[in-house]
């Protein structure tokens, strides 16, 4: 073997050794990234039970503040900012308007070792009394997974000793794992609800270990990132209960529900359109005594409560994180050759300082247009060969929409575009739709799909559709169009014009004329139709509540509610009726 061959082998061996060392270092040093959590706000004297409607988005935890009884409440931990933002929109849809995403750089934490004794899902009820006498417990949260652990220790040996004790106490699967103290959340009465005694049985042994342990996460390592405008505690709002004043309104939706309940022998009072105690009692009685409804309710809880996410690309993730306007986001976008990346870079510069960055904004946008339409076939919605100057935000958003529509692999339209720039985004997208550009990939930001009644309704409706999960291209386009309509109805609701209002009321009337006829002719279908009709009407009323709370008139709220319902069940019902 010659010298050069020996040198080559040595170099390869050295490179491999370096790789192994780097890999091992990374595995044992989990403190180089950033995690994200959704902070719901500050609350007085609450427990996890007060946030049941959010638990399926991630595990709810709290961090007590200096003020007695007050605590900051959060939803889980996320490695991706875009996933945290998806949960943020869900929380806002549930009424937590002051919620925000908080960043926690793990470099501010400490390396530690813990003993993991169990793993649960965020939606699971955790019986903390099962872990009594194990010593203080912590959780590591990874989106919808909850890892239950011991206190953190500075070295693995002490953690191994704790693991042996826990195994001897019946937790045979206990094992030691490295972590970062910022990943740990102390289990307190917010989680357990009742007072649980975590004091260890083997007091002397545990005290010996805690001399070397990190018995608490250091206070200066946790960044609460609380806005200065949080002067008052927020109390959980449960929209499903419905405001009293709205319930006094006479409504067609309630009349329809009362007539249905009467036909099912669940309501005996006057059909007056007022949602009172009798209507509520009749609805509850039918729910509790209908086996099919109860079955679908269980099924909905088990399978239909995940926060829906698009199939996101790296570029989609960057687009969704653009509102930060950070140099890092801008730099990452600059690494992408896609025209849409140039458009969003132009947006960041526009928001930062339109006057100072005008030349660069114009250059980026005009390049984005030229590149996206270079091989475009068909009639363009605007003059893509012209050169533009961007003096106002609406024009920039409109042309970004045109760039998006021209791309073969269409990037996502983010929710923040509509929440931050409602007027400009609504006007720009309306102009694009007038040019025939209607179908677009949209980030899921409709909180409607996380409402209990609507989750149940969609679960039942999916049974109507024999092609569910195997849709034709035509049906996929309709579903995508429905998603876009629903997002708009949620983010930037506008009263329907008279023609659309008449059309949606007619759609609802025809739906129930067909469904009622089917239920009267087919006893087997009637078993299915009853829970569908009940869930539909409950959702209808709840959606009306939502829009009336926002200041829409009764007839406007009714039309908007029906438009949302059509976007949710329309495709399923249409497919069923064609069978």
Q: What is the pLDDT of residues 283-299, one digit of tens each?
A: 999 999 988 888 888 88
Pick from 178, 36, 177, 181: which is nearest to 107 by CA?
181
DSSP track, 367-426: HHHHHHTTT--S--SS-TTS-----SHHHHHHHHHHHHHH-SSPPPBPTHHHHHSHHHHH
CA distances from 157 to 115, 170, 178 (A): 11, 20, 12
Asked if 317 and 80 count as a contact pair (C-beta separation under 8 A), the reply is yes
Residue 20: per-residue pLDDT: 43
Residue 537 pLDDT exceeds 90: yes
368-380: average pLDDT: 90
Name the pLDDT band for 229 (thresholds 50, 70, 90).
very low
88-97, 314-323, 381-390, 471-480: least confidently modelled range: 471-480
Asked if 550 and 472 count as a contact pair (C-beta separation under 8 A), the reply is no
Neighbouring residues of 184: CB distance < 8 A, sequence distance ≥ 6: 112, 114, 138, 139, 140, 149, 152, 217
In the predicted model, what is the mean pLDDT of the chain? 79
Indicate the SS3 state at residue 61. strand
**Which DSSP helix (H) or strand (E) runs through 548?**
helix 523-549
In angstroms, rounded to a whole number, what is the distance separating the alpha carbons of residues 179 and 497? 56
Angle of helix 498-521 relative to helix 554-577, nearest 10 degrees, comes to: 50
In angstroms, rounded to a whole number, what is the distance separating the alpha carbons of residues 120 and 146? 5
In angstroms, rounded to a whole number, what is the distance separating the alpha carbons of residues 326 and 328? 5
User: Residue 150 is encoded by which pair of tokens?
Assistant: 């011991």
Q: For residues 482 and 446, which has the higher predicted lDDT (pLDDT)?
A: 482
Name the pLDDT band for 110 (thresholds 50, 70, 90).
confident
98-105: average pLDDT: 86
Residue 499 pLDDT exceeds 70: yes
Residue 487: per-residue pLDDT: 82
Name the pLDDT band for 559 (thresholds 50, 70, 90).
very high
How many CB atoms sit inside 10 A of residue 497's CB? Answer: 10
The share of the chain scoring above pLDDT 70, in percent, equals 79
Residue 67: per-residue pLDDT: 54
Name the pLDDT band for 471 (thresholds 50, 70, 90).
low
pLDDT tens for 138-165 read 999 988 889 999 989 888 888 888 888 8
Q: For residues 225 and 424, which has the higher predicted lDDT (pLDDT)?
A: 424
Residue 71 pLDDT exceeds 50: yes
State which of 103-112, 397-406, 408-417, 460-469 shows the largest mean pLDDT.
397-406
In angstroms, rounded to a whole number, what is the distance separating the alpha carbons of residues 239 and 224? 27
b/e sequence 288-320, b meaning 16+ C-beta within 10 Å: eebebbeebbeebeeebbebeeeebeebbbbbb
User: Residue 94 is encoded by which pair of tokens?
Assistant: 């549930």
Q: What percentage of the chain's residues is helix, strand, coil (to nearest 5)?
A: 55, 10, 35
Neighbouring residues of 579: CB distance < 8 A, sequence distance ≥ 6: 466
pLDDT tens for 315-343 read 888 888 887 656 788 888 999 999 999 99
Polymer length in residues for the chain: 579
495-515: average pLDDT: 90
Angle at 184 between CA 183 and CA 188, to 5 degrees: 145
In angstroms, rounded to a whole number, what is the distance separating the alpha carbons of residues 316 and 310? 10
b/e sequence 138-167, b meaning 16+ C-beta within 10 Å: bbbbbbbbbbbbbbbbeeeebbebbbebbe
Map tokens 């005694």 to a residue.
197
Residue 190: per-residue pLDDT: 87
Pick from 274, 275, 257: which is nearest to 266 by CA?
257
How many CB atoms sit inside 10 A of residue 382's CB? Answer: 15
User: Residue 176 is encoded by which pair of tokens?
Assistant: 């030691």
Residue 1 pLDDT exceeds 60: no
Residue 468: per-residue pLDDT: 53
Name the pLDDT band for 26 (thresholds 50, 70, 90).
very low
pLDDT tens for 273-286 read 888 889 989 999 99
Residue 180 pLDDT exceeds 60: yes
Residue 441 pLDDT exceeds 80: no
Asked if 254 and 248 count as a contact pair (C-beta separation under 8 A), the reply is no
Residue 51: per-residue pLDDT: 86
Residue 412 pLDDT exceeds 70: yes
Residue 105: per-residue pLDDT: 87
**Backbone phi and psi for residue 112, each to the nearest 5 degrees, phi listed first:** -155, 170
Name the pLDDT band for 368 (thresholds 50, 70, 90).
very high
Neighbouring residues of 519: CB distance < 8 A, sequence distance ≥ 6: 525, 526, 529, 530, 533
**Backbone phi and psi for residue 133, each to the nearest 5 degrees, phi listed first:** 70, 15
229-248: average pLDDT: 37
For 534, counting Cβ atoms within 10 Å of its Cβ (0-12 exposed, 13-18 middle, 19+ buried), the class is buried
29-38, 367-376, 394-403, 468-477: least confidently modelled range: 468-477
Name the pLDDT band for 470 (thresholds 50, 70, 90).
low
Residue 402 pLDDT exceeds 90: yes
Q: For residues 401 and 322, which has the higher predicted lDDT (pLDDT)?
A: 401
Residue 201: per-residue pLDDT: 45
């Amino acid at each position: 073997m010659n010298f050069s061959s020996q040198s080559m082998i040595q170099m390869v061996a050295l490179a491999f050794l370096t790789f192994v060392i780097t890999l091992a270092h990374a595995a044992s040093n989990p403190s180089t990234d950033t995690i994200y959590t959704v902070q719901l706000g500050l609350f007085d004297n609450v427990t996890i039970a007060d946030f049941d409607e959010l638990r399926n988005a991630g595990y709810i935890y709290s961090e007590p503040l200096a003020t007695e009884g007050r605590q900051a409440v959060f939803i889980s931990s996320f490695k991706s900012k875009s996933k945290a933002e998806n949960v943020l929109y869900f929380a806002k849809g549930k009424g937590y308007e002051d919620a925000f995403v908080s960043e926690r750089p793990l470099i501010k934490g400490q390396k530690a070792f813990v003993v993991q004794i169990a793993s649960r899902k965020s939606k699971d009820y955790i019986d903390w009394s099962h872990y009594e006498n194990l010593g203080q417990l912590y959780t590591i949260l990874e989106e919808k997974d909850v890892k239950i652990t011991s206190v953190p220790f500075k070295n693995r040996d002490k953690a191994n000793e704790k693991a042996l004790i826990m195994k001897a106490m019946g937790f045979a699967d206990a094992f030691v794992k490295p972590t970062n103290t910022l990943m740990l959340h102390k289990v307190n009465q917010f989680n357990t609800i009742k007072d649980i005694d975590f004091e260890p049985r083997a007091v002397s042994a545990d005290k010996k270990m805690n001399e070397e342990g990190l018995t608490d996460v250091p206070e200066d390592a946790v960044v609460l990132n609380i806005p200065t405008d949080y002067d008052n505690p927020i109390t959980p709002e449960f929209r499903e209960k419905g405001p009293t004043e709205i319930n006094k309104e006479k409504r067609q939706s309630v009349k329809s529900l009362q007539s249905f309940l009467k036909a099912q022998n669940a309501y005996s009072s006057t059909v007056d359109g007022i949602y009172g105690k009798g209507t509520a009692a009749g609805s509850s009685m039918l729910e509790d005594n209908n086996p099919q409804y109860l079955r679908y309710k269980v099924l909905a809880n088990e399978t239909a409560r995940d926060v829906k996410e698009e199939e996101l690309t790296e570029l989609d993730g960057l687009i969704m994180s653009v509102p930060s306007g950070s140099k890092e986001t801008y730099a990452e976008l600059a690494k992408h050759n896609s025209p849409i990346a140039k458009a969003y870079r132009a947006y960041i510069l526009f928001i930062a300082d339109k006057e100072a960055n005008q030349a660069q904004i114009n250059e980026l946008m005009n390049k984005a247009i030229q590149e996206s339409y270079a091989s475009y076939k068909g009639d363009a919605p605007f003059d893509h060969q012209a050169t533009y100057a961007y003096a106002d935000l609406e024009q920039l958003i409109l042309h970004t929409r045109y760039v998006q529509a021209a791309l073969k692999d269409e990037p996502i339209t983010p929710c923040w575009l509509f929440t931050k720039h409602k007027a400009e985004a609504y006007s720009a997208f309306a102009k694009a739709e007038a040019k025939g550009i209607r179908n677009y990939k949209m980030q899921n930001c409709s909180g409607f799909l996380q409402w209990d009644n609507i989750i149940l309704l969609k679960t039942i409706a999916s049974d109507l559709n024999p092609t569910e999960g195997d849709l034709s291209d035509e049906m996929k386009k309709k579903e995508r169009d429905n998603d876009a309509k629903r997002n708009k109805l949620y983010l930037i609701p506008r009263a329907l014009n008279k023609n659309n209002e008449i059309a949606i009321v007619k759609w609802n009337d025809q739906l129930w004329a067909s469904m009622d006829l089917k239920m009267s002719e087919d006893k087997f279908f009637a078993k299915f139709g009853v829970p569908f009709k009940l869930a539909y009407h409950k959702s209808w009323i709840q959606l009306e509540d939502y829009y009336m709370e926002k200041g829409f008139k009764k007839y406007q709220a009714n039309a908007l509610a029906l438009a949302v319902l059509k976007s949710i069940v329309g495709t399923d019902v249409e497919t069923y009726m064609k069978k």
